[in-house]
């Protein structure tokens, strides 16, 4: 009984996760960027498993977002997600497109926390500071891309760019193609400030990297390649992250086999390891660039190469631990040829992490397309079934009409039969009276006329 209830709850949860957000279809996906800015609002893109319940012309995914912007001759460099859920799409799909992603959780139908607004300002200014030499857009969305998105964008226009409140609201409405519906009084009471980008500290400029939905808090390597110390900072970050991974592996070993917590920790470790491998590769490439450009002395390059080698050694230790602890069979079984690891095929052999991630993304995309095709077939079968049911209902209605009319006709026939019988009875009585009258007349005639002899 408990397993059945658990299964029903899980099935209900899956249906809920694949449900299109309420009101999502009532708004257009996107229009254009805010005038004189690189900010563009749009409604939340949805993953394919949700969009298969939506008509094709009304779908809006991450791929659709990029494609629509390409038609406008623009590219997007950062997406700021203001929704309070992770079910609409996977942020890793955003990063696979070489687009930065920032999550600021803002519950709907509530007052917006001030700290979220300040974080939003720092994120936007940080991106603009780091991308002064390109024109990449900053995409901002909540569920519908109207109220929460509008509130954050309008406040930025007022308090950072110095626009008057009504002008800022009108600029957002024109760019989004819909009117902001909430927070109007709050926004109209805001005072233009016009804060310069340079007022933000270096620490604040890169804080938005910390807010990504990572399995563990993780200081992402700095992007400030103009400083010789950035490699040392990245080295410390990688070293600390390696220690966190080892701690997680030790935690994994202590958990009982088959437990849900063990599976959760295993997934976390795999995600952390992928991120760590990317950052170690970046660290090595950055050192090579520094040495080639002559930004550091030969002695300093050798010292830093030693540090990078230590990180690579940690990477090898982690890889070894992963092989020992994350295989589906025990060490005793490894000697059995039946449990030998399968060799890599020609499609995966020699792939880098980025290439493997791309292959995984393509496989996921192909699976989604196959599911979508299957859904189309099922939908067509459903339409045929509905049409057959409609036709059966129509014939049933015809049969019911015939039955009703047959009953009415039967009643009419019975009524006419009774009328005929009544007429017959009355007709018989009439002929009897006629005969009696004729006999009476005959008697009178016989009596009145004398008989002649």
Active-site amino acid positions = 142, 148
State the SS3 of 66-103: HHHHHHCCCCEEEEEECCCCCCCCCHHHHHHCCCEEEE
- Secondary structure letter of residue 104 according to DSSP: -
C-alpha dihedral (349, 351, 357, 360), degrees to nearest 10: -20
Q: What DSSP string describes 117-171?
A: HHHHHHHHHHHHHHTTTS--EEEEE-SSSSHHHHHHHHHHHHHTT---HHHHHHH
- The closest of 55, 234, 58, 43 to 143, measured between CA atoms, is 43
How many CA atoms are closer than 13 Å to the CA of 447, on its beta-carbon side? 6
Q: Give the end-to-end CA distance of the chain in Å, rounded to a whole number.
A: 122
The H-assigned helical ranges of 214-259 are 230-254
Work out whether strand 137-141 and strand 39-41 pair parallel, antiparallel, or are unpaired.
parallel
Strands (DSSP E) contained in 125-260 are: 137-141
- The closest of 208, 242, 241, 243 to 223, measured between CA atoms, is 208
- 386 Cα distance to chain centroid: 29
Instruction: Quote the CA–CA distance of 125 and 114 in Å, as a whole number.
Output: 17
- 120 Cα distance to chain centroid: 22
- The closest of 95, 113, 102, 181 to 145, measured between CA atoms, is 181
Residue 393, burial from CB neighbour count under 10 angstroms (0-12, 13-18, 19+)? exposed
Cα dihedral across residues 412, 414, 418, 421: positive or negative: positive
Return left, alpha or beta for 258; rule: phi > 0 is left, psi -120 to 50 is alpha, else beta: left
Q: What angle do CA 100, 150, 95 make, to 5 degrees?
A: 10
Instruction: Quote the CA–CA distance of 146 and 173 in Å, as a whole number.
Output: 9
- The closest of 276, 262, 271 to 316, measured between CA atoms, is 276
Within 10 A of 328 (CB to CB), how many other CB atoms are there? 7
**Token duo for residue 102:** 């920032």
Residues, the chain, total?
Answer: 453
């Amino acid at each position: 009984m408990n397993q059945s209830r658990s299964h029903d709850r899980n099935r209900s949860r899956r249906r809920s996760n694949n449900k299109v957000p309420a009101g999502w279809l009532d708004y257009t996906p996107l229009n254009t960027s805010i005038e004189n800015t690189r900010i563009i609002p749009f409604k939340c893109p949805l993953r394919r498993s949700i969009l298969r319940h939506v008509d094709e012309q009304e779908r809006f995914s991450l791929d659709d977002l990029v494609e629509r912007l390409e038609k406008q001759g623009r590219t997007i460099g950062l997406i700021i997600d203001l929704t309070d859920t992770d079910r609409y799409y996977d942020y890793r799909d955003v990063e696979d497109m070489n687009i930065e992603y920032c999550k600021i959780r803002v519950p709907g139908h509530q007052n917006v926390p001030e700290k979220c607004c300040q974080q939003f300002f720092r994120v936007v200014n940080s991106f603009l500071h780091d991308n002064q030499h390109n024109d990449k857009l900053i995409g901002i969305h909540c569920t519908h891309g109207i109220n929460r998105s509008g509130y954050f964008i309008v406040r930025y226009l007022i308090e950072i760019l110095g626009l008057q409140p009504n002008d800022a609201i009108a600029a957002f409405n024109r760019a989004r193609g819909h009117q902001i519906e909430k927070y109007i009084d709050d926004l109209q009471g805001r005072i233009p400030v016009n804060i310069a980008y340079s007022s933000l500290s270096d620490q604040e400029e890169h804080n938005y990297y910390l807010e990504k939905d990572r399995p563990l808090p993780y200081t992402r390597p700095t992007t400030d390649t103009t400083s010789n110390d950035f490699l040392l900072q990245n080295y410390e970050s990688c070293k600390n992250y390696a220690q966190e991974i080892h701690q997680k592996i030790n935690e994994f070993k202590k958990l009982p086999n088959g437990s849900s917590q063990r599976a959760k920790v295993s997934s976390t470790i795999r995600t952390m390891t992928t991120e760590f491998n990317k950052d170690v590769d970046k660290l090595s490439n950055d050192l090579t660039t520094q040495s080639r450009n002559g930004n550091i002395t030969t002695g300093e390059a050798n010292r830093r190469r030693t540090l990078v080698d230590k990180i690579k050694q940690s990477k090898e230790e982690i890889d070894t631990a992963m092989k020992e602890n994350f295989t589906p069979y025990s060490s005793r079984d490894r000697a059995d040829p039946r449990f030998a690891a399968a060799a890599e095929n020609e499609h995966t052999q020699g792939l880098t992490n980025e290439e493997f991630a791309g292959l995984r993304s393509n496989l996921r995309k192909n699976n989604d397309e196959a599911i979508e095709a299957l859904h189309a077939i099922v939908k067509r079968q459903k339409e045929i079934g509905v049409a057959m049911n409609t036709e059966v209902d129509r014939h049933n209605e015809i049969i019911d009409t015939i039955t009703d009319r047959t009953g009415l006709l039967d009643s009419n026939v019975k009524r006419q039969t009774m009328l005929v019988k009544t007429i017959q009875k009355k007709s018989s009585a009439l002929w009897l009276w006629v005969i009696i009258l004729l006999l009476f007349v005959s008697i009178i005639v016989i009596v009145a006329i004398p008989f002649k002899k």
